[in-house]
Amino acid sequence: MLGVIDYGGGNIQSVRNALAAMEADFLEINSPQRLSDVSALVFPGQGAFGDSMAALHERGLVEPLRKWLRADRPFFGICIGYQVLFESSEEQPGVEGLGIFPGRVVRFPSDQGLKIPHMGWNHARIVADDVRLWDGLGTDPYFYFVHSYHPAPAQRAIIATTTTYGPVEFASSIQCGQVLATQFHPEKSQENGLRLLGNFVSHHR
């Protein structure tokens, strides 16, 4: 059974719709007690880093999520569900993330002539060693982005895809063990996004 983290943030409905379209059974997780009922997690959403961490604390989910991730159990983080895996964010200095991976979340530079937020379709060049979850997507698929901040992982080995926006190349996804997390929104990325979500669901059924 798949669990979808509901921490009160935005964009949960789009993920519900995508999973329903692929006939995936899932439970919504808004308390630690429900984690025992699922074998894989999807953490979707959009919003501010600090607000998202505060919501996870309020629901008692921070330590259970850390335990889940440190045990290398199946996890798919989307947008803010990607960013909170790191130690901190420039968006809210002083707020600790889950700290599963070393690195911090940074803002696109304002002096490079970039339109911020980065919004719309862009390539994600696959550089992962293990490409099973990327099956059927080629080497440079398009996905939908909407964000002003992105993680800067300290460990290059975990980077699964890179994306170029103007002069900036950033880690648009990571993959480590059974953890996959993306800055782009697969649930809004039509066929490519459904393929990636479907690969994750099929792999962990």
Residues with a catalytic annotation lie at: 79, 185, 187
**What is the residue whose two structure tokens read 């290398």?**
72
Amino acid letter, residue 33: Q
**Residue 97 near residue 84, CB atoms below 8 Å:** yes
Residues 47-67 as b/e (b if ≥16 CB within 10 A, e otherwise) read bbbbbbbbbbeebebbebbee
Amino acid letter, residue 59: R
Q: What are the tokens at 148?
A: 């002003």
Residue 139 phi, psi (nearest 5)? -110, -10
Q: What whole-number distance in Å separates Cα of residue 49 and Cα of residue 10?
A: 12
Helix (H) or strand (E) holding 203: helix 190-203
